[in-house]
Amino acid sequence: MKRQLGDWLDRRTGIRGLLRAALDEPIPGGASFAYVFGSALLFLFLSQVITGVFLALYYVPSADHAHTTVAYVVKVVSSGSFVHSLHVYGSSAIIIVLLLHIGQTILFGSYKGYRELLWLSGCVLMALMLAMAFTGYLLPWDQKAYFATAVSTNIFALPLIGSWFKQFVRGGNELGTLTISRFFVAHVFLLPAAVFAFVGMHVYLFRRVGAAGAPTARTGRASTSFYPRQMLMDIAFTTVLILALGTLAWWLPAELGPEANAADTRFLPRPEWYYVPMFQWLKYWEGQRAVIGIFVIPMLIGALFAGLPFVDRGTERRPWRRPFTVGLFAALMLALVTLGMTSYAQDRRDPAVARQLDFQRDAMRVFMSQPFEPEESARSLRGANAALVALSDPLVAHGRTIFEAQSCDACHGADGHGTESAPSLVGAAARHPSGELSRVIRTPTAKMADSGMQPLDIPDDDLAALSAYVAGLK
């Protein structure tokens, strides 16, 4: 039965050949835990896609609603906080595993031997992942998202590139609702599409040139196939990641801060940990020289990094025989760690900064502990504040002219506050809710008619305006 089903499917899809090709991939020197990071990254990316899709069930990319909708997910929706946390922590996990993947590749010299394009597609994927983290950070539109992005998008305003680029990224001079739309489109449409394309390319190139395997030709250890040993190792590591992310998301849910408030001048923006080294680095570059620090040096490092397989062309793969490359990478990592730690140390050392950061952390905790506050829709707000918007609304203003033209003010007073011959109209809307107000204006009730109120024969539009004016009286 199973056999027959397999045959039926295979004849139509060639699934067995596909599986065989996927699973029998040879790994020179045998399976190793050093090779698990690529699969883990693929898993993490898919996890981000899936959790992201479910977050998008509730998220609205607009400055008016973004924060409310994320708060709704985090505070109200079943499992919302858990899925949101998986997404937030997943982005950090991707950066960590990415660094491990790159570190392993450099240590083992796995970028050598016709693997230039494989390496380059990996570099593009890293850039795309950093861009995903950058664009995703703004979307909740809380204080830290707003201010961190306000600062980081200023970097785009370098004289070299021109301030138009910053304006293009932000969708205007200021951070606003258009910025959210842009970041949202990049985060959920453009960047993921590019990631899928480059993952496809990365995997294809990898399978075409084959696994690099161990850097030393280990004697007596032949190449084995991916299945089952390497696959089991990949699964084991991915399981550890799932457990770690799940535990973290369960016990330490990712927090959302209070809604972005551009008027808050004391807020100290701090980026996510993986951007902290860059953040610290920018502190050392002032004035005209800033271009060098912000742009030239990172570009040079990036170019050197991407060009590694073109520069380091020897066949030697053992790390201890390539002290320059391995040393350079180690130095770069060390520099980033030092920069990051310096930044945290500086924040702790300055009492004013430390106090403000503590305050921000507390504000976040307070916000998280408050119950969810539904957003008043424009209509319900209008109902509540009808009096406030009175006269700024053209309909209401038109209503006032009718109020005067029809001599309503003769009895009800100039501002509808009432005279001896007729009562005040303040609160009339509450006594006659909804459409009833217009009805009694046009056709007064018996009691109203008794006290002298005349039926009012005016067009429907005018009646609506008049009712709006009367409803707004206070």
Partner 1 sequence: MADVADTTFHDPEPRRSFLAALLALGTSTVGALLAIPLARMALDPLWRTTTEVLWSDAGPAKDFGVITAPVKVQLTIEQRDGWRKVLSEKAVYVLKGADGRPRALSAVCPHLGCSIGWSDEKGQFVCPCHNGAFAADGTLISGPPPRGMDELDARIEEGRLKIRYQYFRQLVPTKEVLA
Which residues would be at the binding site for partner 1 (CB under 8 A)?
Answer: 16-17, 19-20, 50-51, 54, 57-58, 65, 68-69, 71-72, 76-80, 82-83, 86, 228, 231-232, 235, 239, 242, 372, 374-377, 379-380, 383, 432-436, 445
- State the nearest-atom distance from the C-beta of 258 to partner 1, in Å: 16
Closest CA to 109 of 259, 322, 301: 322
- State the nearest-atom distance from the C-beta of 397 to partner 1, in Å: 23
- For the chain, the C-alpha Rg in angstroms (whole number) is 32
Is there a contact between 396 and 468 (Cβ–Cβ < 8 Å)? yes
Is there a contact between 425 and 412 (Cβ–Cβ < 8 Å)? yes
Q: Which is nearer to partner 1, 263 or 430 (CB)?
A: 430
Q: Cβ of 70: how many Cβ atoms within 10 Å?
A: 23
In whole angstroms, give the CA distance from residue 140 to residue 364.
Answer: 13
Q: Which is nearer to partner 1, 77 or 339 (CB)?
A: 77
List, in sequence order, every residue forming a beta bridge with 224; answer none if it has no partner: 27
φ/ψ of 85, rounded to 5, equals -65, -40
Q: Which is nearer to partner 1, 78 or 219 (CB)?
A: 78
Write the single-letter amino acid at 63: A
- State the nearest-atom distance from the C-beta of 207 to partner 1, in Å: 18
- State the nearest-atom distance from the C-beta of 42 to partner 1, in Å: 14
CA distances from 40 to 37, 130, 466 (A): 5, 17, 67
Q: Which is nearer to partner 1, 352 or 446 (CB)?
A: 446
- State the nearest-atom distance from the C-beta of 209 to partner 1, in Å: 24
Is there a contact between 275 and 71 (Cβ–Cβ < 8 Å)? no
Start-to-end Cα distance in the chain: 81
In whole angstroms, give the CA distance from residue 272 to residue 149.
Answer: 11
Instruction: Provide the residue count of the chain.
Output: 474
Q: Which is nearer to partner 1, 79 or 154 (CB)?
A: 79
- State the nearest-atom distance from the C-beta of 471 to partner 1, in Å: 11
- State the nearest-atom distance from the C-beta of 249 to partner 1, in Å: 9
- State the nearest-atom distance from the C-beta of 29 to partner 1, in Å: 22
374: preceding bond cis by omega (within 30 degrees) = no
Q: Which is nearer to partner 1, 302 or 374 (CB)?
A: 374
Q: Which is nearer to partner 1, 3 or 349 (CB)?
A: 3
For the record, the structure tokens of 378 come out as: 């424009």
Q: Which is nearer to partner 1, 36 or 276 (CB)?
A: 36
CA distances from 44 to 21, 102, 132, 296, 331 (A): 23, 16, 13, 32, 28
CA atoms within 13 A on the CB side of 204: 8
